[in-house]
Amino acid sequence: MEQALPRLLGNDAQAPCVDGRSRRYVNLDYAASTPVMADVWEAVEAFVPMYSSVHRGTGFKSQVATEAYESARGDVAAFVGARSSDDVVFVRNTTEAINVLSASLPEGARVLSTPVEHHANMLPWRRHDVDLLPFTRSPRGLLDVAEQRLRSGRYNLLAVTGASNVTGEVWPVAELARIAHRYGTKLFVDAAQLAPHRAIDMAASGIDLLAFSGHKLYAPFGAGALVGRLGAGSPLLHGGGAIKLVTVDDITWADAPERYEAGSPNVIGVVALAAACRRLREVGMDAVAAHERRLATRLWSGLVTVPGLQTLSLWPGAPDRVGVATFNLDGHRDEHLATMLSAEYAIGVRHGCFCAHPLMTRLLSVPDATAERLHAELKAGGSPEMPGAVRASIGLGTTAADVDALVDALYEIVQRGARHAVAA
């Protein structure tokens, strides 16, 4: 018997609109942060009375908290299909996870990545020798250029997204892993946008290292995970919990995962993340993907019928995409359009460049001269009008009515414009 999808808190929330009426809030901003899963909230409430310090406390509550924290590693590992030898390091989010991984790489490491990445999977690698693949127009093109580049030079790590947070394309990570391993390179996958929407099996697909965030997995309590074999690299944070012994002039670091978890951990966040992983495994990520594919198809099909609306895509006709749609509407700046949707229709979307400036510059065909001017103005302390787009994204709580509400609102905006003065 197929399990019901998890219930999310706040799906019946009301939002005030500029006409004085309240409407049910239509959440189409899942790619930024997801609502709280009811099962996660219940797990947190059950654990909170037993919250305590972890690892070195002998009191009863400390032992309970330590068991909850350590057993969570198994829940996370099972959710992503990790190998028995993989470490699970708890962090705040994907951004911190990637910074932890970057700091752990040896000096002189060479990293190969792409210009498509979220800034979290771009900026931390700049402390190393990093090369970028060119933009491609298809998954096949990506695989071809990746093999060409990996064949030509020795790289320690290939770092790619699992699914684009701007356009939704799911990347061919198993094929990339095979190519990377052929040339002695490990594959790291930023799974922030992949983990909530598709099943992941690190062992079967050959992913060596992976990171994701609880706040995109219906557990927004400030925890994420870095999974894979970290070894004895340099930890990003130096402090208590990450060491075996400290003298006045030397340090003996702990083994992974503790080596990379200095300071008092976010135990409640980890309990929440583990609860989300358990519940999603119970439901089955294939069921989640099937539900979201139906809604995503409805979303994409509806948007392309709106007069004057242009959608953005990296790989037109890509075989698989998570439920993300990024678009612009003739005559409306992205910020103004997003504000209208919120103020007049209680529809929550996101606007801007989605922490992916090189990709958005490409997708919006921003001329080099314009990009250089914006860069110079910002460096000089100015506030130039930035290019951008609107992003609608779906998740477990999205309904067909939510998708239709967005498409209908866009039709109204095309026909009537703003019904009220809305500050953007």
Q: Supply 249's token pair.
A: 């002039």
Residue 355 falls in the annotated catalytic set: yes
What local confidence, expressed as pLDDT, does residue 141 receive?
A: 97
Residues 89, 78 within the same domain = yes
45 & 31 share domain? no
Give the model's pLDDT for residue 417.
73
Identify whether 423 is part of a domain. Answer: no
Q: Which of 17, 277, 353, 355 is catalytic?
A: 355
**pLDDT tens digits for range 346-384:** 999 999 999 999 999 999 999 989 988 998 999 999 998
Residues 227 and 357 in one domain: no
For residue 266, what is the domain's CATH number? 3.40.640.10
Q: Which residue has the tokens 């299909």?
A: 81
Task: Write down the pLDDT at residue 1.
Answer: 46
Low-confidence ranges of the chain (pLDDT < 70): 1-3, 418, 420-424
Residue 421 lies in a domain: no
Q: What is the pLDDT of residues 64-105, one digit of tens each?
A: 999 999 999 999 999 999 999 999 999 999 999 999 999 999
Q: Please check whether residues 325 and 271 belong to one and the same domain.
A: no
pLDDT reported for residue 385: 86
| CATH number of residue 311's parent domain | 3.90.1150.10
Residues 118 and 173 in one domain: yes
Domain count, the chain: 2
Note whether residue 4 is domain-resident: no
Q: Indicate if 320 and 265 belong to the same structural domain.
A: no
> Is the domain of 237 the same as that of 335?
no
Give the per-residue SS3 of 170-234: ECCHHHHHHHHHHCCCEEEEECCCCCCCCCCCHHHHCCCEEEEEHHHCCCCCCCEEEEECCCCCC
| Residue 360 belongs to domain spanning | 14-36+285-416
Are 160 and 74 part of one and the same domain? yes
End of a domain among 236, 265, 283? Answer: 283
State whether 351 and 226 are in the same domain: no
Buried b (16+ CB within 10 A) or exposed e, 380-395: eeeeeebbbbbbbbbb
Q: Which residue among 283, 311, 345 closes a domain? A: 283
Q: Is residue 345 part of a domain?
A: yes
Long-range CB pairs of 13-20, under 8 A, 24+ apart, other chains included? 14/346, 15/342, 15/346, 17/343, 17/344, 17/345, 17/346, 18/343, 18/344, 18/420, 18/422, 19/344, 19/419, 19/420
358 within a domain of the structure (yes/no): yes
Q: Note the pLDDT of residue 2.
A: 56
CA–CA gap between residue 223 and residue 261 (Å, rounded): 12
The predicted structure's pLDDT at residue 150: 97
Question: pTM higher than 0.85 for the full model?
Answer: yes
Q: Which of 283, 303, 324 is at the close of a domain? A: 283
